[in-house]
Amino acid sequence: MFAEIITIGDEILIGQIVDTNSAWMAVELNKIGVKVKQITSISDDAAHIVNALDQAQQRADLILITGGLGPTRDDITKHTLANYFNMPLRSDEATLAHVRQFFEKLNRPMIDLNIKQAEVPDGCTVIMNKNGTAPCMWFEHQGKIIVSMPGVPFEMKYLMEDEIIPRIKNSFQLPFIIHQTILTAGLGESFLAQQIQDIEESLPSHIKLAYLPKLGLVRLRLSASGLDELALKTEISTYTRQIVERVEQYVVLTEDVPFEKAIMDLMAKHELSFSVAESCTGGYLSHLFTQHPGSSTVFQGGAVTYSNALKQAVLGVQEQTLIQFGAVSEQTAEEMALGAINNFNTDYAIAITGVAGPGGGTAEKPVGLVWIAVANKTTVKAKRYQFANQRLQNIERAALAAMMLLFLQLKSDLKN
């Protein structure tokens, strides 16, 4: 069963916002065996919305629309859908009561524009939006289901989880789709492909293999679809095992969790703690860890020591080290990691210092040069990296490299 996602909003087409809704929706749909055939982003334009709806119905049975439901005049999705399905607008009492309550809670008067938010095409199923004022609308039309939701992520997400996904499950007979990812490091995409060519060629047609390279890692993804969940799982795990055995030395993870989450899970299992000392990554590494619920079990905190003064004051880096070797050096990275271990009293610490760019590079220490150190209670090791010229990419790469160093140290320590 195929779905199509249509996101409506000029702000997407001028690049003012990145459409993160679609990826989230795709993940949720995949979980229940719905494949996303196409994601289409269009502007707040009636003719274009109609055109996209027509074309989507040729490809998919389920069409999920987000955006364009705000109270202001640039938002026209609701009127366009009413015309498209030839349904006059009516005021929905339950929605109006909800909108009224919403404004009472905020202690603000309701204006005409808000009252109009309770209008819905007469003939659709109205789904209450507890997190906002624009209602969600569910249409059934010539054997297809079309759902219109607000584009505000936390309104859309709650509606999907609590209302739409359960209704989709009831409306369609769905196959199972199972994904298995294998995270690898240290071997390029084409070399991996060469090593596992025979396995790839032996895959049955309902199992696909994809290569997803990112920042020096390659994620392999096996996807199987069918009606027998158990058989699919067995098949997928057989092929996963074959691939893992073949390229074992490059395999980092076979769980489908973010790398940083896997590291923290491993630490939690062994009751270990860690802290970070960031210079050029400026808080990004800490954020990667702390975005996950429960990170406080193992992550104690850290320092963002952008200035040399803070490297000394918070991490105890020696002034002499900074003068002799500079802030971006093996010695400084090691002293930062040791400072974190000692001052923050954790089992592990990671330190990153580098030139993120675009400014600040020299002939000797060019933009993209990064030193990363990992310390445990007894040792500290630093490694040199030379990344490229893009600031954000250097920040991401450095954070990833730091996680890799920590992971390898951890794995090695746990073996012994």
Residue 83 in the binding site for a copy of itself (CB under 8 A): no
Q: Least CB distance from residue 133 to a copy of itself, whole Å?
A: 9
- CA 179 – CA 365 distance, rounded (Å): 43
Of 33, 121, 302, 354, the residue at the interface with a copy of itself (CB under 8 A) is 302
- CA 22 – CA 32 distance, rounded (Å): 16
The answer to whether the beta carbons of residues 379 and 394 sit under 8 Å apart is no
Of 125, 307, 362, 412, the residue at the interface with a copy of itself (CB under 8 A) is 307
Residues of this chain, 138-167, that bind a copy of itself according to CB under 8 A: 152-154, 157
Of 101, 202, 242, 296, the residue at the interface with a copy of itself (CB under 8 A) is 296
- CA 212 – CA 220 distance, rounded (Å): 6
Q: Site mask, a copy of itself, residues 198-237, x = CB under 8 A?
A: --x-------xxxxxxx----x-x-x--------------
Question: Which residue, 274 or 371, has its beta carbon nearer to a copy of itself?
Answer: 274
Of 305, 321, 332, 376, the residue at the interface with a copy of itself (CB under 8 A) is 305
Q: Which amino acid is at 232?
A: L
- CA 204 – CA 224 distance, rounded (Å): 9
Residues of this chain, 323-352, that bind a copy of itself according to CB under 8 A: 343-345
Residues of this chain, 26-55, that bind a copy of itself according to CB under 8 A: 26-28, 30, 35-44, 48, 52, 55
- CA 196 – CA 185 distance, rounded (Å): 15
Segment contacting a copy of itself (CB under 8 A): 78-86, 234-242, 263-271, 284-292? Answer: 284-292
Q: Least CB distance from residue 408 to a copy of itself, whole Å?
A: 21
How many CA atoms lie within 13 Å of 248's alpha carbon, on the beta-carbon side?
4
Question: Which residue, 22 or 129, has its beta carbon nearer to a copy of itself?
Answer: 22
- CA geometry: angle 125, 129, 131, nearest 5 deg: 175
CA 28 to chain centre: 13
- CA 40 – CA 361 distance, rounded (Å): 42
How many CA atoms lie within 13 Å of 411's alpha carbon, on the beta-carbon side?
11
Q: Least CB distance from residue 45 to a copy of itself, whole Å?
A: 9
